[in-house]
Structure 1
Amino acid sequence: MAWPPPAYQPMPPLAQQRRTAYARPIRAPWWQREGVISRALAVAGVAVTLIGVVMLLVLAAQAGFFGPVPRVAVGALFSGALVAAGTRVYGKAGGRVGGIALAATGIAGGYLDVIAMTTLYGWLNPIAGYGVALGIAAGGVALAVRWRAQVLAVLVVAGAAVLAPFVTSGITVELLGFLIVLEIAALAVHLVRDWPWLHVVRTIPAVLATLIAVIGTALDSGPVSDRHETLAAAIMVAVAGLAGAILSGRRRAGDVTASLSFAASALPLLAAPIMFDRAGSVVVSGVFGVVLLVLAAMPMLPKLGAAARIPGHLVVTSALVGAFALLEACLGVTDVQTLPLALFVVAMGFLAVAGQRSSRVAAGIGAAYGGLGALTFVVRTNPGVLTYQPEAEDHLGMSTALVAVTALGVLGVAAWCARRIGLLESESDATTLSVFAGIAGLYAVTALTVSLGVATGDHNGFRAGHAIATVIWMVTATAALLFGLRRLARTPQRAKVALAAGLLVTAAALAKLFLFDLATLDGLLRAGAFLVVGVLLLVVGTRYARAFADMGARTPTA
């Protein structure tokens, strides 16, 4: 019995699901956000109140209101009352912002009061004043650490530093001392707290004030004691910056702000040589550079580096600042003739260290010194001097020959360093570096031979130098081509680089031979240059043909 087929019933439509639109949360305007207005009002209150303290201490004294004792006493009592009120408010619910603002105002006001007692009224010896100020600033920072409030430490340091020049009536040695005290008072906090903004706030005021003092002292023909005091301030600023970077770096290796703050703190000492004569400037910049380079070299010694635990970014910063200071020393100890030599010698030292330790930072510094040396060398031995005999006889000699030899030494050390740190692994990079090195080497060789020819004192020395330079160019090209042909089967990458370099130098030698030597040389010098270059071309051409014939013979035929 067959069952009848079921009647077709269409599927009922699915109920449409209503899409619910999720509204984005509406952000409240900035003035309605929690804590924004209270913080802004608190900061404004700190600024206005501290300005009032300065007016009480300075403007009231200028106008003759009250006496020194009442002014200082009122300032001290008012500051103490603010700190006490801030401590009381901080302990209540919602009183964190107000407590921090009141305490910061009181501590900074007390600091300004001590500055006034030391500078305006002379009641405290500067050493005693620095000691009292250090205690107040350290107390403020300690309270900030206790409350875990970076903003309290920032407000204390910034408020006192910004308004201190108005109390001291300008940039004075005493002002520098009080700003340095602020910088030192905030050092210990970096052992227990990661407060990057405090690095910036404690460093920038002292740096700017000391830089202004250095420039003003250099322009002023005052006593020598002023220069020494300003130099001492610059040294203290740099030492404080370095101490902060080391303390913070040993605790937190990623604190780059500390290293940048140290770089800023080194600026006054880098500018300090302008205050002294040539010998004094060389001593200042040279000692500073050596100290920083020794610090940068510590991680290269395993035991010393493990004990010091200096982070990498501080090592780089110290190396760069030290290299700049050493450059200042080179500029001070040399003249136009010997400056390229000094730069090349320093470049070889950095490149040698870079190759030995595989340090790209040292390699970069060495390359920078080498580039500066090459620039100053080319300025003195420019193409116009090398190609015009009267100019060459006036500007070239044994000194330029010695510099040219040093330049060739830099190129040799740079090639070894590039291979050691892995810059020649890529064929394109190796080719590019070889081209630049070849051009520099040919220029140095030409300067060397022409300088030696001129140094002989013979009238034909200039021409003989150029003839020898052309021959050396072609000998170098021949050596590169023969080396490339010999390594073509074993190391084709290096062989291609050598062949490309050799062909470029060959083209350069032929261009010089026909465009310059043919018109400048005469007699046996011209004939000798053409003969030697021609023989070398025949040798290279023959060897080139044999090499590719051998390769064709070894290639299996189908």
Structure 2
Amino acid sequence: MSTPGTPSIDPRLVAQLSGDFSALGQQMRHVGENLAVLQAQLASIPQPQPQPQPQPQPMYRPPVPQAPPPPAPAVPYRPVPTPPPRVVREPWWQRDGVISRVLAVAGVAVTLIGVVMLLVLAAQAGFFGPELRVVAGGLFSAGLVYTGARVFGRPGGRVGGIALAATGIAGAYLDVVAVAVVYHWLLPVLAMVVALGIAGAGVALAVRWGSQPLALLVVTGAAVLAPVLTEGITLTLIGFLFVIQVASFPAQLGRDWLYLGIARTCPVVIALLIAIASSGLSDRPERFWLLASAALVALFGLVSSIILLRSNSRDVTATALIVTTAVPTLVIGHLFDRLGSTLIALALAAAMFAAFAAARTLPRHARIALAGVGTLALLEACLIGSSEDLAPLVLLGVAALFLTIGGQADSRIAYAVGAVFTVVGGFAFVITAPPFVLVDEYSALDSLGVTTVLSSLVLAGTVFLFVWYAHTLKLLSDTTAQPWWVLAGLVILYAVTTATVSAGTALTGTSAGFIAGHCAATIAWMAAATAALVFGLARRDYAHTALGVGLGLTAAALAKLFLFDLATLDGLFRVLAFLVVGLLLLLAGTRYAREFAEREAGRGMPNGSVSAGSAER
């Protein structure tokens, strides 16, 4: 910026003059070079002897003006941008309100500890009287709330007012807990009703002031110090913590108070898990009250989370609370017998899947959480409620049901549930009928039976549905589906082998049934190989895959025939196995020879046409 009294200089004019001078210098150098060339040419020409002539008078010729070169483009003037000033962040302890908040939280904690000491330690030492201690705690709490309301309305009094009011409300809540637990003046149920009113008043005040910290201080203070009054984790403590969970829920309606949802739910869930983990409850009636408490917590967590998700579909915390509140019900089964544990898990699974089916407008993450909890509960019910040999049949039957529901309803979540049961049921089937049992006669007679036959057939159908609906739901493309079909075919072949051997042992109970089952298994292997080879001829897009599978199964069938059946089978079963396998090999070879002959004949016809019968095939 120019100072007053000093003429300003245009930088664009300076740049233009600099370009003009540069152009003139280039033009003069060009003229000098041309003169040097002309002088060299004149020096090389022989000059005649000059005749004496009168000296000519020099004549003046004005210089021919030349057009000046175009001026160089002027460089625009661009001011250098000044870097932004460096922002120096203040340390956290120097920011506005941090120290006051830290001191306020510390003050709330210390004051509430003093209230607990007044109610418990003074009673243990015999100081004052019970009535005086309770009345003093109540009056002190009321005074703190009144003072907090007065301070809150003054300039700069928000932090102090919130701290005082939170201390008073939490102190009053603890006072009611002491009346029921320490002095036994009220029944726990009546005391919980009074505590619900106090907690509700505190939450209403937090809503009125628009302060989530007030609600957090009330909930956290009461939940952390209540176990001191109840002397550990008891059913009464769980009831008071459940009151906190219920009373603070309305504050979240229409508000993004995520931390309050965590603070009101975690204490009661943690208390339930600690109580469930305690030993010695298996034969006591308290376990039924504990089960009722876990069911209430799970039910209220489910309903309240669904309500919150309907108003705010992005509330991932509400989805997490669905899972969190269901954990105690998932793990409480070990306190009951087999039937009781199964019924508890089935009830939880039914509630979760019913909510999944009814609440279709919920966001995807919530529906995944509902299906996930329901899947875990149903798995628990299937594994606990069924015997070892019956578990694969039950798991695979549930898998087939959910796969069908997912495919027909176009629900990938239901299909995923079915996929989980398919994998678990498949592992259970392999544990029940491992390969070494199929090749050992005595193990097969001892382990395989009618249940194994049914499980094998259900496994074959379930694996087929697994790949079929994956293709239908666009989870697999046409290219990636072929390896999955090959894998499914191998599993189905193993299931068919198990079914034939199990059927033979179940029907006869002798070695003849075992031999007959393996004879049928070998024939089934070769029949599957022949079907794969014929399918490859009919479908050109699956030709390479089908050919590889067919030849591989053919090799496996022949290896089984010569390495196992020849040594194990005897009599008519050995003859039958060799005859049928041989006929199937001849059929496959004849079909391939005929196909290639028709193709060669088709190449020899004009225009590459083929016969109508070949085209139809």
Cα contact 1:112–1:164 (8 A) shared by 2: yes
Query: Are 2:444 and 1:384 equivalent residues in the alignment?
Result: no
Pairwise CA distance, 1:18: 6.0
Equivalents in 1 of 2:570, 2:519: separation in Å?
A: 10
Query: Are 2:268 and 1:206 equivalent residues in the alignment?
Result: yes
TM-score (norm. length: structure 1)? 0.90
Report the more deviating stretch, 166-175 or 502-511.
502-511
Query: Are 2:417 and 1:365 equivalent residues in the alignment?
Result: yes
Please give the residue correspondences for 1:13-412 in structure 2 after superposition, counting only pairs within 5 Å: 20-216=82-278, 219-220=280-281, 222-224=283-285, 226-299=286-359, 305=360, 309-412=361-464
Q: Which runs of 5+ in 1 are unaligned?
A: 300-304
Equivalents in 1 of 2:236, 2:110: separation in Å?
A: 25
Q: CA offsets per residue over residues 44-100 of structure 1, 9 Å max, x none? A: 222222222222212222222222222222221222122222222222222222222
Give the structure 1 partner of residue 10 of structure 2: none
Read off the aligned partner of 2:147 and give its amino acid letter: A
Pairwise CA distance, 1:215: 2.5
Q: Which runs of 5+ in 2 are unaligned?
A: 1-61, 609-617
Equivalents in 2 of 1:194, 1:22: separation in Å?
A: 36
Bigger radius of gyration among the two: 2
Equivalents in 2 of 1:213, 1:314: separation in Å?
A: 28
Q: Measured at CA, do residues 17 and 191 of structure 1 come closer, stay the same or move farther in structure 2, by a change above 3 Å?
A: closer
Q: Percent identity, aligned pairs only?
A: 50
Equivalents in 2 of 1:27, 1:388: separation in Å?
A: 76
Give the structure 1 partner of residue 513 of structure 2: 461
Pairwise CA distance, 1:329: 1.9
Q: CA offsets per residue over residues 272-308 of structure 1, 9 Å max, x none? A: 2222122222222222212221221225xxxxx5xxx
Read off the aligned partner of 1:106 and give its amino acid letter: G
Cα contact 1:344–1:373 (8 A) shared by 2: yes
Read off the aligned partner of 2:269 and give its amino acid letter: V
Equivalents in 1 of 2:70, 2:499: separation in Å?
A: 105
Alpha-carbon RMSD across the aligned residues, in angstroms, is 2.6
Pairwise CA distance, 1:448: 0.8
Pairwise CA distance, 1:209: 0.5
Pairwise CA distance, 1:112: 0.9
Pairwise CA distance, 1:468: 0.9
Equivalents in 2 of 1:485, 1:16: separation in Å?
A: 76
Pairwise CA distance, 1:546: 3.9
Give the structure 2 partner of residue 451 of structure 1: 502
Q: Measured at CA, do residues 119 and 477 of structure 1 come closer, stay the same or move farther in structure 2, by a change above 3 Å?
A: same
Equivalents in 2 of 1:207, 1:66: separation in Å?
A: 36
Equivalents in 1 of 2:88, 2:115: separation in Å?
A: 43
Read off the aligned partner of 1:166 and give its amino acid letter: V
Equivalents in 1 of 2:72, 2:351: separation in Å?
A: 92
Equivalents in 1 of 2:533, 2:201: separation in Å?
A: 75
Read off the aligned partner of 2:281 and give its amino acid letter: D
Pairwise CA distance, 1:267: 0.9
Q: CA offsets per residue over residues 384-421 of structure 1, 9 Å max, x none? A: 11111111111112221122122122123323322331
Q: Which has the higher contact order (CA 8 A, sep 6+)?
A: 1
Pairwise CA distance, 1:183: 0.5
Q: Measured at CA, do residues 385 and 243 of structure 1 come closer, stay the same or move farther in structure 2, by a change above 3 Å?
A: same
Secondary structure, in 3 states, of the residue corresponding to 1:474? helix
Read off the aligned partner of 2:587 and give its amino acid letter: V
Q: Measured at CA, do residues 18 and 271 of structure 1 come closer, stay the same or move farther in structure 2, by a change above 3 Å?
A: closer
Report the more deviating stretch, 378-387 or 330-339.
330-339
Cα contact 2:282–2:336 (8 A) shared by 1: no
Query: Are 2:569 and 1:517 equivalent residues in the alignment?
Result: no
Query: How many residues are paired up?
Result: 542
Read off the aligned partner of 2:527 and give its amino acid letter: V
Read off the aligned partner of 1:152 and give its amino acid letter: L
Read off the aligned partner of 1:295 and give its amino acid letter: A
Equivalents in 2 of 1:386, 1:81: separation in Å?
A: 81
Q: CA offsets per residue over residues 400-454 of structure 1, 9 Å max, x none? A: 11221221221233233223312342412x1232132122112111111111111
Query: Are 2:485 and 1:437 equivalent residues in the alignment?
Result: no
Give the structure 1 partner of residue 8 of structure 2: none
Secondary structure, in 3 states, of the residue corresponding to 1:219? coil
Report the more deviating stretch, 544-553 or 84-93.
544-553
Pairwise CA distance, 1:23: 4.2
Cα contact 1:438–1:501 (8 A) shared by 2: no
Read off the aligned partner of 2:181 and give its amino acid letter: T
Equivalents in 2 of 1:11, 1:406: separation in Å?
A: 85
Cα contact 2:464–2:488 (8 A) shared by 1: no
Secondary structure, in 3 states, of the residue corresponding to 2:154? coil
Match of 2:581 among 533, 536, 546: 533
Equivalents in 1 of 2:71, 2:415: separation in Å?
A: 84
Match of 1:481 among 519, 530, 533: 533
Q: CA offsets per residue over residues 480-534 of structure 1, 9 Å max, x none? A: 322232122xxx2x55554444344334333433443333333443333233223
Report the more deviating stretch, 380-389 or 9-18.
9-18
Q: CA offsets per residue over residues 158-209 of structure 1, 9 Å max, x none? A: 1111111111101111101000001111222232212221221111111111
Equivalents in 2 of 1:365, 1:204: separation in Å?
A: 28
Secondary structure, in 3 states, of the residue corresponding to 2:343? helix
